Chains A and B, each alone.
Chain A
Amino acid sequence: MNKFIDNKILSGDKNQFTLLAGHCQICSRLYFPTLLNCSVCETDLKEYKLPKKGTIWSWTTQHFQPKNPPYDDKQGIESFQPFCLGIIDLNNELRITAKLIDVTTEDIYINMPVELVQLPFKSFRNGNDVTTFAFQPIKK
């Protein structure tokens, strides 16, 4: 069993890995991260596996080290490297903020197809090795 950065948003193992949202069965709204109940219908939300493939709706880079706290990436705090992040459109169901790997500012573009991948993450705060998520270009 993997240890995730937050069990509310991620589930599975090395092979089967998904992002979890909450789905309202009355109004079909999706919540990421999930809530206790639908903020409109007030009913319980059902666990929903978000699509693993999507496209980059928009992107940017993070060139300076964010303040710690809240930033808690041990590797980043010890030797910060700029990274890319994007707003990923998941099959027009939901858009989420995610780190992008295996891309450079030269080859990245809006509408680029990307897929969900696991990313090792070391927490500075509690010294734990956990798994988080990122997206990378879909390899042909």
Chain B
Amino acid sequence: MKNDIYIIGVGLHKFGRTPDKTGLEQAKSAVNKALKDSKLKWQDLDFAVGGSQDAGNADSLINKMGATGLPFINVFNGCATGGSAMITGMNSILAGQGSLGLIVGFDKHDPGAFRVDLDKWDLPQWYGDMGFALTTQFFATKINRYMHDHNISESSLVRVAMKAFKNGNLNENAWRTKILSYDDIKSSIMINHPLTKYMFCSPSEGAAALIICNEEVANRYPSNQKIKIKACSFKSRREGTFEVFQPSYQPHMVNTVTKDAALDAFNKANISPEEIDIAQIQDTESGAEIMHMAELGLCEDGEQEQLLANNETHINGKLPINTDGGCLANGEPVGASGLRQIIENVIQLRGQAGKRQTKNPRLALSQVYGAPGISCVSILEKVQ
């Protein structure tokens, strides 16, 4: 179709800790890999979109890549920055800004939990004073209630983390590559009940870059190189949802923001959730992956217990999830995280994932979530 948009190049700088490189240098490395992958030069780009929380302004990349007059838009939406960069890039093509664009995200965070600037998130001082300004508490209360409502046991939380590190072990770009046992995870120190240390991801470093283009440019590429963006939907929360960083909640609940974004994406793609072959899901902690599975429509509430017990979300299962190890094994460099998911889907759909390759996937979903309740769902399709 005339308005279709394709991904023709991807590049990733290893996630984790790279003490000798700034965030912008890691971004440069990812951009160069993406350009090489698509056999393009920096000068060929019509526009760029990028974002980072702690590692500098994305447009400063022109100092490293070349001051060519390229229109370079900076975007930022917390943990969902990769999603906003992606959708801004797609809209740029649709609006006629150009036919070929770069999407880039990168970050470099200090170790430990994120320090929250209350004013930035529109939160009252007392909320921070009393020790509530922590995203980890939100995820813990959300999964605790979910486990109560839908009979999910602690073993499911452990299984999600076990799978993440197992997949991370197969990924040369992952941060945490050591396989951990059930007991290693279950008996690691408690962070926020019911979640232990190894069930949480940590802020890290890394960079991810994509080259996107319109149909006309995509026609110049072989079908096993280009991946079609079937749909991308970016939503913010509605009144009556339980989302991160809210001092109070309406008791009359509506669909979560992820559910809203997923429904819209499936609608745009004109496919049903059962058709999805693999998924990269926001797994800030084990419980988030479990809840997001149902919010995305990939299973029913409560069904996760059995799916996880049967290893169905493993690489060789019915519905492989977070095949690159997800946030748990890669950590979360906020600006890059959402694009890492999309790159993993591209590599899987191309059949280039090596040891962690899933069986002939055609449709791949990704979902990125962040404060103050925003979610972006993308669906990619292999070109037949």
Q: Which residues of A contact B (CB under 8 A)?
A: 5-6, 8-9, 21, 30-33, 57-64, 66-67, 69-73, 76, 83, 85-87, 89, 92-97, 99, 105, 110, 121, 123, 125, 132
Given contacts A58-B141, A72-B129, contact A105 B113 (CB under 8 A): no
* Shortest CB distance A103–B (Å): 12
Given contacts A70-B129, A96-B248, A110-B148, contact A33 B192 (CB under 8 A): no
Interface 0/1 of B11-26, CB less than 8 Å to A: 0000000000000000
Contact yes or no, B248 A62, CB < 8 A: no
* A31 contacts across to B, CB distance below 8 A: 248
**A69 to B192 CA separation, bound complex (whole angstroms):** 20
Contact yes or no, A5 B190, CB < 8 A: no
Interface size on B, residues (CB 8 A): 37
Contact yes or no, B126 A62, CB < 8 A: no
Set A60, A73, A94: member contacting B251, Cβ < 8 A: A94
**A84 to B313 CA separation, bound complex (whole angstroms):** 33
Contact yes or no, B192 A63, CB < 8 A: yes
Q: Write 10 A-B pairs (CB below 8 A) sorted by A numbering.
A: A21-B248, A32-B248, A33-B124, A62-B134, A63-B192, A64-B113, A67-B116, A70-B129, A72-B129, A110-B144
Q: Does B66 sit within 8 A of A, measured CB to CB?
A: no
Contact yes or no, A94 B248, CB < 8 A: yes
Given contacts A70-B116, A71-B129, A76-B131, contact A60 B250 (CB under 8 A): no
Within 8 A of A (CB), among B146-191: 148, 189-191
Set A5, A30, A73: member contacting B131, Cβ < 8 A: A73
Q: Which residues of B contact A (CB under 8 A)?
A: 112-113, 115-118, 124-134, 137, 140-142, 144-145, 148, 189-194, 242, 246-251
Contact yes or no, B126 A60, CB < 8 A: no
* In the complex, residue of chain B having the shortest beta-carbon distance to the beta carbon of A72: B129
Given contacts A5-B126, A6-B124, A58-B141, contact A63 B191 (CB under 8 A): yes
Contact yes or no, B125 A70, CB < 8 A: yes
**A86 to B142 CA separation, bound complex (whole angstroms):** 10
**A125 to B145 CA separation, bound complex (whole angstroms):** 34
* Shortest CB distance B241–A (Å): 12
Q: What are the nearest 8 A-B pairs in CB distance?
A: A70-B128, A60-B140, A58-B145, A32-B248, A72-B129, A95-B249, A61-B193, A58-B141
